[in-house]
Structure 1
Amino acid sequence: MKRLFSILAIACIMAFGTVNASTNANTTTIVNTVVSAQEDGAADAEDLGFHQELKKRFIEGGPGFMGIVLLCLILGLAIAIERIIFLNLSTTNTKKLTQNVEDALASGGVEAAKEVCRNTKGPVASIFYQGLDRTDEGIEAAEKAVVAYGGVQMGQLEKNVSWISLFIALAPMLGFMGTVIGMIQAFDKIEAAGDMQPSLVAGGIKVALLTTVFGLIVAIILQIFYNYIISKIDAIVNDMEDASITLMDLLIRQKK
Structure 2
Amino acid sequence: MQGEDIVTSHLIFGMPLLWIGWGTLVDYFQRGGPVMYPLLMCSLAGLVVIIERSWVLHRIKDDAAEVIGRVRRALHARDLEAAVRVCDTIQGPIANTVKAGLLQVGKPAEEIERIMEIVATQEIARLERFLWVLATVANIAPLFGFLGTVTGMINAFDRVAEVGLGNPRAVAGGISEALITTAAGLIIALPTQAAYNYLTTRVNKISLSMETAGAMLLETLKELESYLPRPEIETPMAGR
Bucket of the pairwise TM-score, normalised by the shorter protein: 0.7 to 0.9
Q: Shift in Å at residue 42 of structure 1?
A: 9.8
Residue 188 in structure 1 maps to residue 158 in structure 2: yes
Q: Which residue is 2:46 aligned to?
A: 76
Question: Quick one: structure 1 residues 148 and 232, their matched pair in 2 at CA, closer, same or farther if it must change by over 3 Å?
Answer: same
Question: Quick one: structure 1 residues 147 and 47, their matched pair in 2 at CA, closer, same or farther if it must change by over 3 Å?
Answer: closer
Residue 162 in structure 1 maps to residue 132 in structure 2: yes
Question: Quick one: structure 1 residues 196 and 91, their matched pair in 2 at CA, closer, same or farther if it must change by over 3 Å?
Answer: farther
Q: Kindly provide the amino acid, as one letter, of the partner of residue 110 in structure 1.
A: L
Overall identity of the aligned pairs, in %: 32
Higher helix share: 1
Count of residue correspondences: 215
Looking at structure 1, the residues matched to 170 and 215 of structure 2 have their Cα atoms a distance apart, in angstroms, of 68
Secondary structure of 2:62's aligned partner: coil
Looking at structure 2, the residues matched to 139 and 204 of structure 1 have their Cα atoms a distance apart, in angstroms, of 67
Q: Shift in Å at residue 203 of structure 1?
A: 2.2
Q: What does 1:54-203 correspond to in 2, within 5 Å? A: 54-62=25-33, 64-107=34-77, 109-194=79-164, 196-203=166-173
Residue 251 in structure 1 maps to residue 218 in structure 2: no
**Taking CA–CA contacts closer than 8 Å with sequence separation of 6 or more, which of the two structures ends up with the larger relative contact order?**
2
Q: Shift in Å at residue 85 of structure 1?
A: 1.6
Higher strand share: 2
Residue 61 of structure 1 contacts residue 210 of structure 1 at CA under 8 Å; is this kept in 2?
yes
Looking at structure 2, the residues matched to 143 and 178 of structure 1 have their Cα atoms a distance apart, in angstroms, of 52
Q: Kindly provide the amino acid, as one letter, of the partner of residue 55 in structure 2.
A: I
Looking at structure 1, the residues matched to 155 and 173 of structure 2 have their Cα atoms a distance apart, in angstroms, of 10
Looking at structure 2, the residues matched to 195 and 83 of structure 1 have their Cα atoms a distance apart, in angstroms, of 52
Secondary structure of 2:35's aligned partner: helix
Question: Quick one: structure 1 residues 47 and 109, their matched pair in 2 at CA, closer, same or farther if it must change by over 3 Å?
Answer: closer
TM-score, normalised to structure 2, is 0.82
Q: Shift in Å at residue 194 of structure 1?
A: 4.8
Looking at structure 2, the residues matched to 197 and 58 of structure 1 have their Cα atoms a distance apart, in angstroms, of 25
Q: Kindly provide the amino acid, as one letter, of the partner of residue 216 in structure 2.
A: T
Secondary structure of 2:77's aligned partner: helix
Moved over 4 A (4+): 41-44
Residues 173-223 of structure 1 deviation map (CA, whole Å, 9 limit, x = unaligned) = 111111111111122222233555211222211111101101110001211
Secondary structure of 1:115's aligned partner: helix
Secondary structure of 1:137's aligned partner: coil
Looking at structure 1, the residues matched to 109 and 80 of structure 2 have their Cα atoms a distance apart, in angstroms, of 13
Q: Which residue is 1:4 aligned to?
A: none
1:212 to 150, 163, 182: 182
Bigger Rg, which one:
1
- Shifted more, 48-57 versus 205-214: the winner is 48-57
Q: Kindly provide the amino acid, as one letter, of the partner of residue 28 in structure 2.
A: R
Q: What does 1:38-57 correspond to in 2, within 5 Å? A: 45-47=6-8, 50-51=20-21, 52-57=23-28
Q: Shift in Å at residue 43 of structure 1?
A: 11
TM-score, normalised to structure 1, is 0.77
Secondary structure of 1:145's aligned partner: helix
Structure 2: runs of 5+ lacking an equivalent: 10-18, 227-240
Structure 1: runs of 5+ lacking an equivalent: 1-40
Residues 61-95 of structure 1 deviation map (CA, whole Å, 9 limit, x = unaligned) = 13x21121111011011112211222222323211
Secondary structure of 1:119's aligned partner: helix
Question: Quick one: structure 1 residues 84 and 105, their matched pair in 2 at CA, closer, same or farther if it must change by over 3 Å?
Answer: same
